[in-house]
Amino acid sequence: MAKARVLIRPKEGILDPQGKAVERALPALGFEGVEHVRVGRMVELEAEDPERLSELCEKLLANPLIEDYEIQTL
Amino acid sequence: MIWGVLQFPGSCDERDALHACSLLGEARMIWHEERDLGSADAVVVPGGFSYGDYLRAGAIARFSPAMEAVAEFAAAGGPVLGICNGFQVLCEAGLLPGALLRNEDLRFVCRQVELIGSGEERLSIPAKHGEGRYWAPEEMLDELEAGGQVAYRYAPGHNPNGSARDIAGVRNESGNVLGLMPHPEHAVDPLTGSTDGLKVFEALAGARV
């Protein structure tokens, strides 16, 4: 089994209100100078056939219309 | 006319949808594991949180046996109405264009909204959702508008979630699949303030192609 990690993010140009909310909360906690926060998700998995991971991402893990994904085999 | 209402684990508006359909004909519930829609003449994919909305709203539900049957039913011209989570499921399944994103201000909205349908028809029905911001690429939005696929818009000042071009509901190219975020099934009795929701079901009933 091959271990892999899939990173999924909102596509560039799509408003990410979660990222904005995090960004706005930071100065109140004393973290100045942080910008362009984007919140996505990460999926860890083990696959028998890593060749099929991108198909799996296209069909289920990501919605290619609104999200980009990146597969990292570990 | 026989209406089939899908029920997923995590659906929560299927009873109201069933009630709304029963005002217009015979209404039957269809469990998500059913591969057979019976003799339904129209199908409603109801609101709620199908399969816990895990991963993305609607992402898992689209792979259910019942949704496979709905995809075939829609391809054969059968009328399909997706409400709220049902709209998200239909978009995830590729039966409707675009996607529903988290509300612009991150707040769950729950209030009555005014919608404008085709022909400037105005409807007052409730909206309740956290991920209802309709989004599609600009060129796709242009095509939807040009092709008459924007079924409902929020009236000026009523867009509760930052939806692109105030879009509340869209239909597919052939017109037999309709999805909208607000809840027509909650507005079918004067007791709850409006019966405008019935107009959405009636419009769909005539949408077989």
* DSSP secondary structure, chain A, as one string: -EEEEEEEEEPTTS--HHHHHHHHHTGGGT--S-------EEEEEEES-GGGHHHHIIIII--TTTEEEEEEE-
∠ CA B56-B61-B64, rounded to 5°: 150
Q: What string of pLDDT tens digits covers the 209 residues of chain B?
A: 999 999 999 999 999 999 999 999 999 999 999 999 999 999 999 999 999 999 999 999 999 999 999 999 999 999 999 999 999 999 999 999 999 999 999 899 999 999 999 888 999 999 999 999 999 999 999 999 999 999 999 999 999 999 999 999 999 999 999 999 999 999 999 999 999 999 999 999 888 77
State residue B124's pLDDT score.
97
pLDDT bin (cut points 50, 70, 90) of residue A27 is very high
User: A1 CA to chain B: closest CA distance, Å?
Assistant: 23
State residue B207's pLDDT score.
80
CATH number at residue B116: 3.40.50.880
Range of the domain at B80: 2-205
Q: Is A25 on the interface with B (CB under 8 A)?
A: no
Domain count, chain B: 1
B32: CB partners within 8 A, 6+ apart:
B6, B7, B8, B9, B50, B61, B64, B65, B66, B67
pTM reported for the whole predicted model? 0.94
Domain count, chain A: 1
| B183 belongs to the catalytic site | yes
Alpha helices in B129-206 (DSSP H): 138-146, 197-205
**A&B contacts, CB < 8 Å:** 29
Range of the domain at A21: 2-73
Among B14, B84, B92, B158, the active-site one is: B84
State residue B168's pLDDT score.
98
CATH number at residue A32: 3.30.1280.10
Q: How far apart are CA B124 and CA B13, in angstroms?
A: 18
Residue of B100, B119, B102 whose CA lies nearest to B203:
B119
Length of chain A in terms of residues written: 74
Q: How far apart are CA B58 and CA A64, in angstroms?
A: 14
State residue B41's pLDDT score.
97
State residue B209's pLDDT score.
75
State residue B208's pLDDT score.
79
Q: Is A65 on the interface with B (CB under 8 A)?
A: yes
